[in-house]
Amino acid sequence: MKIQIIKRRKTFYILSSLVIIAGLVMGMINGLNYGIDFTGGTLLQISLGQEVSVDDVRVITDAFDTEAEVVHAGDVNQEVMIKTQTNLTPEQRTAVFKEFQAKYNLPDDAFIKSEKFGPSVGEEIRRNAYLSIGIATLLMLLYITVRFEFRFGVAAVAALIHDVLIALSVYSIFRLQVNSSFVAAILTIVGYSINDTIVLFDRVRENRKSMKRGEYETLIDSSIGQTMTRTINTSITTLVAILCLYIFGVTAIREFALPLLVGVMVGTYSSIFIASPAWYEMMIRDKHQQRSYSGKNA
């Protein structure tokens, strides 16, 4: 079967644009669902001495904050971590614990931890996240420019920005919580996604030596065909591992695994359908500019 990625590239541009626009619109209407790491709030950790379902915990916590996040902790999930977006006073924190103490007959030392987060901490985390992603992107642009050429670097960075925007859009559309685990997963995605793109660009560079100058569509489609099996197989094995983490992991692990699942799928998609067409667009534009320049000087 002949692969025609370049011929149908506008279809992929439109598909990605629709998802990003939908995420942008939902973000403008509802805003991102930031977690306690970004908004500030209160963290309570209580040992219940048994595994209690999140719904049962919420029967108590909803009276104080209906947006509170409940996460199991401890070796056998006998502890709960309650993250409220409302800043609870010391009296309110004690009142929350008293509710659990009365319901589950807990000793006084079952109240393990109580911490308060200010919005300034969230601002710092957000600023450091943007800075980390920016630095990582610039270093990748520099690396690919040195190893290949500047146009490859720009195309790869365009694909990385696409991946981050799609991940943010998915979280915006489905109102998933954006927290520090999401930021860590995004940085992992940026590093993973560039891997498939480099493999594909390396093949493009090798095939370029044996093809006629200017046959960029054939060059890219052939290179994608030669690397697609490797790319898909690598992504599937990675997805299986992350899916196991998501299914069998505790809540904190799932929070990290979910954006990774989204990111690996999007990264695989962008390395094939976004990065290479982006490089093609730049090469065609340069080709037309050279023809225009030659025509003017003829």
State pLDDT tens for residues 237-288: 999 999 998 888 877 788 889 888 998 999 999 989 999 999 999 998 887 7
Contact 68, 92 (CB under 8 A): no
pLDDT tier, 120 (very low <50, low <70, confident <90, very high otherwise): low
Which two three-digit tokens encode residue 276? Answer: 């290479």
Quick one: average pLDDT of 161-187?
A: 87
Quick one: average pLDDT of 22-51?
A: 85
Tens-place pLDDT, residues 200-240: 999 998 888 887 666 888 889 999 999 988 888 988 999 99
Percent of the chain residues past pLDDT 90, beyond the cut: 26
pLDDT tier, 64 (very low <50, low <70, confident <90, very high otherwise): confident
CA distances to 117, 130, 131, 138, 178 from 127, rounded to whole Å, are: 16, 5, 6, 17, 14
With 0-12 / 13-18 / 19 or more C-beta atoms within 10 angstroms meaning exposed / middle / buried, residue 194 is buried
Quick one: average pLDDT of 64-69?
A: 81
pLDDT tier, 297 (very low <50, low <70, confident <90, very high otherwise): low
Q: Which of 101-105, 117-121, 142-146, 247-251 has the lowest mean pLDDT?
A: 117-121
User: What's the one-letter identity of residue 29?
Assistant: I
pLDDT at 214: 62
Q: What is the DSSP letter of 108?
A: G
With 0-12 / 13-18 / 19 or more C-beta atoms within 10 angstroms meaning exposed / middle / buried, residue 26 is middle
pLDDT at 3: 77
Which two three-digit tokens encode residue 125? Answer: 């985390």
Quick one: average pLDDT of 180-202?
A: 84
Rounded to the nearest 5 degrees, what angle is found at the Cα of 122, between the Cα atoms of 120 and 125? 115
Closest CA to 85 of 35, 121, 125, 45: 35
Q: What is the DSSP letter of 49?
A: S
| Beta-carbon count within 10 A of 171 CB | 22
pLDDT at 156: 92
With 0-12 / 13-18 / 19 or more C-beta atoms within 10 angstroms meaning exposed / middle / buried, residue 5 is buried
pLDDT tier, 52 (very low <50, low <70, confident <90, very high otherwise): confident
Quick one: average pLDDT of 281-298?
A: 74
d(CA 24, CA 171): 11
pLDDT at 76: 76
Q: Which of 92-106, 109-123, 126-140 has the lowest mean pLDDT?
A: 109-123
* pLDDT of 20 higher than 90: yes
Contact 171, 198 (CB under 8 A): no
pLDDT at 285: 86
